Copies of this chain bind each other. A is one copy, B any other.
Amino acid sequence: MSVEDRILAGDRLALARLLTQIENEQPEGFEALSKLFLHTGRAHLLGITGPPGTGKSTLVNRLALALRSRTKEMVAIVAVDPSSPFTGGAILGDRIRMRDLSGDPGVFIRSMASRGALGGLARTTSAVVEALDAGGFGWILIETVGAGQAEVEIARTAHTTLVIEAPGLGDDVQAIKAGILEAADLLVVNKADLPGADKTVCALEASLELASGPHQASGHPGQLGQPDQGWQPPVLQTAALLGEGVDEVIDAILRHRAYLETTGGRTGRDRERLRAEVLALLGDGLLERFLGARKDVDLGLELEQVFARQVSPRQAVQSLLSRDR
Contact = CB atoms under 8 A, between A and B. Distances in A.
A172 to B, nearest CB: 3
A283 to B, nearest CB: 4
Main secondary structure of the interface of A (DSSP, over half): helix
B287 A279 contact: yes
A53 B54 CA distance: 12
Interface string A81-109: 11110110100010000000000000000
A314 B33 contact: yes
A324 B215 CA distance: 40
A202 interface: no
Query: So how many copies of this chain end up in the complex?
Result: 2
Interface residues of A, number: 95
A174 interface: yes
Contacts of A254: none
A282 interface: yes
Contact of A33 (B41, B281, B311, B312): B312
A145 interface: yes
Contact of A81 (B179, B219, B310, B316): B179
Interface stretch (A10-18, A114-122, A244-252): A114-122
A144 B148 CA distance: 9
Interface in A258-298: 270-271, 274-279, 281-287, 289-290
Interface in A52-81: 52-57, 81
A171 interface: yes
Contacts of A219: 84, 86
B282 A84 contact: no
A52 B176 contact: yes
A231 interface: no
Nearest to A181: B87
Given A179-B81, A309-B37, A146 B51 contact: yes
7 contacts: A52-B175, A84-B178, A146-B176, A271-B307, A278-B303, A282-B290, A283-B284
